[in-house]
Amino acid sequence: MSKTTDWNARYRMLVEELEADGVQVDVARERLLRQHVETPSWGYADSGTRFKVFHQAGAARTPFEKLEDAAQVMRYTGIARSVAIHVPWDKVDDYAALKRRAEELGIAIGAVNPNLFQDDDYRFGSLAHPDEKVRKKAIAHVLECIDIMRQTGSRDLSLWLADGTDYPGQDDLRARKRRLEESLAEIYRGLDPHMRLLLEYKLFEPAFYSTDVPDWGTAFLHVTRLGPQAYVLVDLGHHAHGVNVEQIVAFLLDERRLGGFHFNARKYADDDLTTGSINPYELFLIYAELAAAEERNGGRLDVAYMIDQSHNTKPKVEATIQSVVALQEAYARALLINRKRLEAAQQAQDVVAAEEELLKAFRRDVTPLLVQVRRELGVPEDPLEAFRRSGYAESAARARG
């Protein structure tokens, strides 16, 4: 981003152009000022592929160091207001102290993610395991996470299950469904009234023959049966190729069961790559649905916008800043869609005009609007460049080894 750019002039030009076109820029600006993205604690620690865990100099080693890194993303973007934790990866003796430290750093603890996949006992599943003892252990762990939520002030419990089978005949598929229903109901009863259970689905992996919550429909059925505090969580990497994710989002929004996202990008499967790096048009179309729902809902939507990524080839804080900025850009473009003209084209069955309305917004250079928003948020005009210049990565590498 050039230092000599006259951003005020460019912003005025954009406002003029959009308003002549019938788009209210102030509405977009205000929504962007309120945008909230949650980053994952596990995205700041060493991670790997199925073949090796790679060490990165300066990667966070403790839950407190993860908070420091998350706070950097907040400092440079102004919208990465909270960080999700994963237990026991983020196990500490005193969760109230973790909450206090987050607050000192200008962020909050967000969703709590139980870990039901890293214990030897979970080889054949957790909440749907054939052995009642293992199911009880898994439920107890989730209830302990709900207790942690009370200490961290978290509202959302994010539940992803590795449960499934590898071979036909390995287990009774209907029995697994019923066991899962019972376990989820017990967990649901443990929630405080303001808490939400977000159920994440995933097509496959680690199980390869059957997965107990393989798709949005299964998750939807479970959360609907559980009650009004249960919602579906959409992870962008958890679908088969060609699945229309924005349609799933629209359906769940309409049913008021969209609890949140795990944003990332994928080329093949659950790649956990930088949001918007592979399929920016899909990301925009998802945001087009979100912005439309917000519009119908008086400008508010109770959805948790979380990132779920792990970076092995990129520095972690930089990749997370790129992701937050990609979410900001997708949202900005979606807010600038001319809804009236889109609807008119839809009514007239003018397919080309309707598509062109979306493409026009998708191709729009929103940088002047984002610079304006960043100035108001008190963060640098170019978050990534400012972070790279700050020397934080180098000093973390020296301090953390």
Contact positions toward ligand LRH, by CB under 6 A? Answer: 86, 113, 160, 200, 202, 235, 262, 270, 308
Percent helix / strand / coil, the chain, rounded to 5: 50, 15, 35
Spatial CA neighbour of 325 closest among 74, 43, 134, 131: 74
Residue with the shortest CB distance to Mn ion = 262
- 345-366 burial: b if 16+ Cβ within 10 Å, else e: beeeeeeeebeebbebbbebeb
Which residue has tokens 């979306």? 358
Question: What is the nearest approach in angstroms of ligand LRH to the Cβ of residue 248?
Answer: 16
Residues 369 and 376: their CA atoms lie apart, in Å, by 11
Question: What is the nearest approach in angstroms of ligand LRH to the Cβ of residue 326?
Answer: 18
Question: What is the nearest approach in angstroms of ligand LRH to the Cβ of residue 331?
Answer: 22
Using CB under 5 A, which of 65, 270, 289, 329 touches Mn ion?
270
Question: What is the nearest approach in angstroms of ligand LRH to the Cβ of residue 147?
Answer: 20
Question: What is the nearest approach in angstroms of ligand LRH to the Cβ of residue 209?
Answer: 17
Q: Is 226 helix (H, G, I), strand (E, B) or coil?
A: helix
Q: Which does 216 bind (CB under 5 to 8 A by kind): Mn ion, ligand LRH, none?
A: none
- 100-111 burial: b if 16+ Cβ within 10 Å, else e: ebbeebebbbbb
Nearer to ligand LRH, 90 or 308 (CB): 308
Nearer to ligand LRH, 323 or 372 (CB): 323
Nearer to Mn ion, 156 or 270 (CB): 270
Q: Does 266 bind Mn ion (CB under 5 A)?
A: no
Q: Does 176 bind Mn ion (CB under 5 A)?
A: no
Q: Does 222 bind Mn ion (CB under 5 A)?
A: no
Q: Is 47 helix (H, G, I), strand (E, B) or coil?
A: strand
Q: Does 163 bind Mn ion (CB under 5 A)?
A: no
List, in sequence order, every residue forming a beta bridge with 262; answer none if it has no partner. 235, 306
Nearer to ligand LRH, 199 or 370 (CB): 199
- 316-329 burial: b if 16+ Cβ within 10 Å, else e: bbbbbbbbbbbbbb
Question: What is the nearest approach in angstroms of ligand LRH to the Cβ of residue 200?
Answer: 5
Binding site for Mn ion (CB under 5 A): 235, 262, 270, 308
